[in-house]
Each structure stands twice: as structure tokens, then as C-alpha cells.
Structure 1
Amino acid sequence: MSSSHYTHGTSPAEQQRLTAMNHLLNERFLAQAALTPGERIVDFGAGLGQFSRAMAKVTGVPVVGIERSNEQIFEAMRQADAAGETHLIDMRQGNAEVAPLTDSEWGHFDMAHARFLLEHVSNPLFIVRTMVRAVRPGGRIILADDDHEVMRLWPEPPGLAPVWHAYQRTYDRHGNDPIVGRRLVQLLHQAGAQPRRNTWVFFGGCSGQPDFEGYVTNLAKILEEAIDEIAETGTPRETVQALLDALATWHRRPDAALWHGVAWAEGVRI
């Protein structure tokens, strides 16, 4: 079984970051998933459930969301209730590794989905195998995750490279993988699925785009929330804070640009 460590925690600040990130990304991920009405979906590592509900709106079938954190589930259901969408999601507390599904559900879902989950576990293959077991023969498995080495900012803010490298080391220290995104197709193959699509979802923009500040804010909040763990790698907190101060002004440069891609892969159960 795999262990997991979610670097960002479940504080209200992190929940706000996740909510904002969902607003930036969900439409693009829905387009890649190409969902059809009637599909039964289980969402591994559902978090606050925003994307689970977005998928359910397309399929017309409540999505089963698996989430280990009671704090995340509480906030997920609060948001669903506020939106009048509690009927769209079936949130279940439990680890993705063992998946709290009934005997009648195993092997009967049309799709199993995981986004930003595999980078936070020590044995992602274990989870992907569980996802394959959850779907019917011919059912789809969709994985979306980070390869943190892909990110680029230009003109590069001073101090970004060493701090970002240290941030990635916080994953290594817990046995997790900050570049798991490049392994998604391999993981599908090793789990016994047939890979059939490999692409990525662009996450970024430039000065002058309405959402650009949101992308930079997301990056800053990630580093701010991880500052203690970054410091444990030997990078002074003052160095991280200096970068955060630089980002606060950098995003207003007329020539500022940020590129990041979320790796996205799809396979089918043979």
C-alpha cells in the first residue's frame, strides 16, 4: 500500500487556492475528458469536489468522490450545498489506495479519474492499479498531474530557480514524485491499462490576460504555504520571502509570462 503526504495541507487558505485554481482550469480539463451523458465516474482524490461536480453536470450522473481529509469533505459539501448541487456528488471518506467502494461498484464504473493526486503518494502505481480495477472492461482511466520541472517564468524573477528546486525537494523528502506527470503513460501501461491518449493542459499566460494574476497568485500561495518545508531543505525562509516579494511586483511587468503544463493521459481497461 502507498503512503501519502499532501504538502499544501487543508487550511482555509489552501482551500481558497484550490477553489481559485478550479475556476482557472476546469473547463479545459472537461474538454479533454470528452464526457458523455450517462457515464458513471469515480474521482480519486476528489479534494473539494469542484471538478467532480463539473463532471456530473455533463454526465447527469452523481460522481463518487473519494477523499481522505474530513476537512476537505466538509468544505466540499459546504460548497456543493451553497451551489445547490449536493445531488451531483457522493463524497466518501477514505484513502485512494483502498477506495471505499461497494462490491457491486468495483469493475462497473465507466471512468476513473485522478488529478493532482499521484504526485503526493509514494507508490502511484498502486493507486492506478486500483483505478483500473474500479472500471469496467473498456472503461477509461484518466490521470492528470504535475511535472514541476516544466514550469517557466520569463523574465525570470530573481531567486526563482533555487527556490523552485528546493520546493521540489520537499516532495523527495517524503518519498513523493514532483515530476510524476511525465510517467503517466508508463503508469497506465504498468497498471494493465491500454494507453490511448497523451497530452497536457496549459496552465499559464502573460501580462495583459485577465487570468494572469490568478496564475501567479497560485504559484505564490503554493510557495508561501510550503515555506516551512522548503526551509527544512536548507533554503533560508528569507530567500523564499524575497521571491514572494519579487512575484508580487513581477506579475505587473508588461512583458511577464508564465508557462506550465499539467500532464494528462488516458487509458482503457483491457
Structure 2
Amino acid sequence: MAMNPLSSMGAAPDLSFYRETAERRAHAAQGYIHGTSMPERSRLATLNELSNGDFVRFLELSGTDHVLEVGSGLGILTSEVAARVPDGIIFGLERSEEQLEFALQQLDLVSGDMLPHLQFVQGDAHELPFSDASFDVVYCRYVLEHVASPLRVLQEMHRVLRPGGKVFLQEGNIYAVQFDPDCAKFEEVWRQFGHIQEKLGGDPAIGKRLFRLLAAAGFEAVSISLSPVLHRAGTEGFAPWVSVFSDILRTAEDSLAANGLPREETRAAIAELDAIRDRDDAAMFFYWNRAHGRRPT
């Protein structure tokens, strides 16, 4: 019998911070903090361009795998992964009708004939519309921070994996971002951004909890790692990555204002980051949390 990775610690994992309640579900139903506007789609496309290659290398894929992406968004990453499993099949599951429509349009326009084994479906990550033991690989990225019950989502991912199948996760801890010189206005607004995300039912620090959650969901051989995002002025990635964070605030401004954060504070934080982006002596430091595990055989 496979053992829970935490069983040797002598106590059940503390998951009290994820007790699913009607209140948490209600808050989560208020919406995705970033929205689904065209500027937000542009931000997501840029984020995909900056981070997809490294993430695809993180996945352990064979050409015949059956793969599921939970929270496929615009479908950009899903299409890239599909190219790595030419003799398999890949599903992208997305809750947002707007995002799903965009993904389907892009598939038809760009690569539908080239990727006949790629399918997008609408659904809820808490109740995956697939039979037990359907996939060899299941992954999600930048999703668990937004869902009502990350543990429930991971339990569903465990259910649809075949015995021995693998799960791969990449999430953030937004409080890990730092700039030099310091950005006091951004730091204050970013802290409030995190509090508002919590109010809406999300978890801005979900990345540091991945080991505990995967273990509680029943996965074994769980490993954790970091994917650093370190750039200085004058390097190719510096300005685009600084803009990722300023654009997060730009596209979330309406949601932040609706939850009590004055627009002038958000705009001052954005201006501060824009100034950092244009300096020749600045640097930024961030990392993504990663984890992978296996369903017991």
C-alpha cells in the first residue's frame, strides 16, 4: 500500500486554512480578480510568451500521453503542450466562457488542422467532467490561487489520473516579489491586492502550500522546487517582467476599486513600476513555486 508522504510526520496535515465553507464558495463566486477584458488577455498572452517554454520543459511527457490542463485560459500553453504529444490526446478545461471562446477561435484560425488531438471543454475544476483514471498527466498553472477549494481541485486531479500518473503544478506567492530600488507605493498596493484576493476567495500565497496540499490529496513522491525570475536592467527579460506586474494592477484596477482600493493609489503604484522599468540600475526578484507528484499504483 502506498503511504501518504506526510504519514511519517506523526500527525495529519493542518489544512484548516482550506476548510470549505459556504462563505468561501460565495466569495469565490464574485469573480476572477483579474477579469477577462482584452487588456487582460493581452497580459496573459505576454505571460505565456515569457514562461511557457520553461514550464513545458518542467513537464514529463511522452508522445502518446493523455494529458489534461486544468484552467487552460487562452489555450496558448495547451497548444504548445499538444505539440509534444503528437500521438496522444490533450484536453484543456476552462471555466470562463469568454476565455474558452477565444481559445477555440485561435485553434480554428491557427492550428486546428495541425492539432486534431487537442480539445477544449468548459467545466469546473472542482468537479472535473471526466471518468476516473483517464489521464497520464494532469497539470495546472496560475489556477489554484483563484479557486474556492484548492484541495478539492487536487483531489479531482488525483481521481482522473491513472495509477502511476503524474501531476505538475506551478503557482505563485505574490509576496515574494521584490524590486531594487524599493517601491514603497507598489509594496503597499500589492499587499492590499493580496488581501482583496483573499476576500474574493483566493489565496495569493498558494505557492508555498503545494507540498502540503498534494500530500493531503493523496499523491506520493511529491517534490517541490522553485522557478526563479531574476532580471536586472539591461537584460532582455527585465522590462517585460516588470510590465507583467504593472499590467496586473492595470487590468485589476476596476476590481480593486470595487473592493475599496482608491484608483489613485493603484495608479501611483503602476507609475512607480513604470519608472523602475525605465531605470538603468534596477533589478527585480521573484520565483514561481513548483511541485509534482504521482498517483499511487
Q: Is the 8 A contact 2:33 2:200 kept in 1?
A: no
- Which amino acid is the alignment partner of residue 44 of structure 1? V
Say which of 65, 80, 98 aligns to 1:71: 98
Identify the residue that residue 127 of structure 2 maps to in structure 1: 98
Q: Structure 1, residues 67-87: CA drift from partner, whole Å, max 9, x if none?
A: 011110111122223322452
Q: 1:182 to 1:247 in 2, by over 3 A?
A: same
TM-score, length basis structure 1: 0.93
1:140 matched to 2:166? The reply is: yes
Q: Structure 1, residues 141-192: CA drift from partner, whole Å, max 9, x if none?
A: 1111111111111112241211110010111112221101001111110001
- Which amino acid is the alignment partner of residue 142 of structure 2? F
1:48 matched to 2:74? The reply is: yes
TM-score, length basis structure 2: 0.85
Counterpart Cα distance in 2 of 1:84 and 1:114: 22
Say which of 257, 262, 265 aligns to 2:283: 257
Q: 1:178 to 1:219 in 2, by over 3 A?
A: same
Partner of 1:203, secondary structure, is strand
Partner of 1:226, secondary structure, is helix
Identify the residue that residue 203 of structure 2 maps to in structure 1: 177
Say which of 240, 252, 255 aligns to 1:214: 240
Q: Displacement of 1:249 after TM fit?
A: 2.1
Counterpart Cα distance in 2 of 1:229 and 1:9: 8
Identify the residue that residue 87 of structure 1 maps to in structure 2: 116
CA RMSD of aligned residues (A): 1.7
Structure 2, gaps ≥5 residues long? 1-19
Identify the residue that residue 54 of structure 2 maps to in structure 1: 28
- Which amino acid is the alignment partner of residue 186 of structure 2? L
Say which of 10, 13, 17 aligns to 2:43: 17
Q: Is the 8 A contact 2:215 2:222 kept in 1?
A: no
Please give the residue correspondences for 1:148-167 in structure 2 after superposition, counting only pairs within 5 Å: 148-167=174-193
Q: Displacement of 1:248 after TM fit?
A: 1.8
1:109 matched to 2:109? The reply is: no
Greater CA deviation, 52-61 or 110-119? Answer: 52-61
Counterpart Cα distance in 1 of 2:236 and 2:129: 40
- Which amino acid is the alignment partner of residue 120 of structure 2? M
- Which amino acid is the alignment partner of residue 167 of structure 1? F
Counterpart Cα distance in 1 of 2:110 and 2:232: 31
Counterpart Cα distance in 2 of 1:226 and 1:184: 25
1:268 matched to 2:297? The reply is: no
Q: Is the 8 A contact 1:25 1:203 kept in 2?
A: no
Identify the residue that residue 8 of structure 2 maps to in structure 1: none
